[in-house]
Amino acid sequence: ILNVEQSPQSLHVQEGDSTNFTCSFPSSNFYALHWYRWETAKSPEALFVMTLNGDEKKKGRISATLNTKEGYSYLYIKGSQPEDSATYLCAFPFGNAGGTSYGKLTFGQGTILTVHP
Amino acid sequence: KAGVTQTPRYLIKTRGQQVTLSCSPISGHRSVSWYQQTPGQGLQFLFEYFSETQRNKGNFPGRFSGRQFSNSRSEMNVSTLELGDSALYLCASSLASGRGGYTFGSGTRLTVV
């Protein structure tokens, strides 16, 4: 069974704090690693798709790093705001038997972030 | 551009019935995937379609089926509904699977009573 693990399960921070969470995934046969943000009553929103070892991506106050050799990715939020409150999901696309399609995303359980004003 | 559209948004069905959910992807997107979200299991992959062909399938019983039409719209069907099928069903579309991010719809909330 190929697992995608996220930690911590939940996080409560104060407005202005910086925070980070972890996604662990199988390091063999790496293809890509996705990060999504899922706010209550909305659709999951793609944040980053990371494909290269050592990759670092940034979107406003949110950034992510990738280590494919050891199988982990970190998501950082600088100066958290109440609107950052959401569930942050990472997902690992697994291929089919022929390796020509990677449309099967396996999601971690997510990190629920609550930012208190 | 229009996002991923799922219909209906909410559905209540009786155990033993069947249900069909619809997903219209973003124009030009040919890959459509379906996911089930339950509180205990998180987001679980159901299946993925590309150009009317099922390319990937998750570990769900045969009661769960799907199809994709030539215009890339997709439907999923659940026959002989069970109480445990109550969940949020999400579909997601992309230009090509894997490398690019997926755009999700708002989901269909199915309640089986």
Per-residue pLDDT tens digits for A75-109: 999 999 999 999 999 998 876 544 555 678 889 99
Contact A101 B102 (CB under 8 A): no
- pLDDT score of A32: 86
Q: In this structure, are residues B6 and B105 in contact, taking their beta carbons and an 8 Å threshold?
A: yes
Contact A43 B31 (CB under 8 A): no
Query: Looking at CA atoms only, how far is residue B72 from chain A in angstroms?
Result: 15
One pLDDT digit (tens) per residue for chain A, 117 residues: 568 999 999 999 999 999 999 999 988 878 889 999 999 989 999 999 998 889 999 999 999 999 999 999 999 999 999 999 999 999 988 765 445 556 788 899 999 999 999
Q: What's the mean pLDDT when you consider all of chain B? A: 92
Contact A44 B90 (CB under 8 A): yes
- pLDDT score of A97: 46
Q: In this structure, are residues B89 and B110 in contact, taking their beta carbons and an 8 Å threshold?
A: yes
**Looking at the predicted structure, is the pLDDT value of residue B12 above 60?**
yes
Measured between alpha carbons, how far is A115 from A82 in angstroms, rounded to an integer?
A: 5
- Mean pLDDT for B98-110 is 87
- pLDDT score of A101: 54
Confidence of residue B1 (pLDDT cuts 50, 70, 90): low
Three-state secondary structure call for residue B86 = coil
- pLDDT score of B99: 64
- pLDDT score of A29: 75
What are the chain B neighbours of A106 within 8 Å (beta carbons)? 45
Neighbouring C-alpha atoms within 13 Å toward the C-beta of A37:
16
Contact A49 B104 (CB under 8 A): no
Question: What residues does A80 pair with on adjacent strands?
Answer: none
Block residue for tokens 């069947």: B18
Closest CA to B36 of B96, B91, B81: B91
Residue of B nearest to A109 (CA): B42
Measured between alpha carbons, how far is B77 from B63 in angstroms, rounded to an integer?
A: 8
Measured between alpha carbons, how far is A15 from A79 in angstroms, rounded to an integer?
A: 7
Chain A residues near any Cβ of chain B (below 8 Å): 31-32, 34, 36, 42-46, 48-49, 51, 89, 91, 93, 95-96, 101-110
| Per-residue pLDDT tens over the stretch B66-102 | 999 999 999 999 999 999 999 999 999 988 655 678 9
- pLDDT score of A37: 97
Q: In this structure, are residues A10 and A109 in contact, taking their beta carbons and an 8 Å threshold?
A: no
What are the chain A neighbours of B105 within 8 Å (beta carbons)? 43
Residue of A nearest to B30 (CA): A103
Q: Which residues contact A41 (CB under 8 A, 6 or more apart)?
A: none
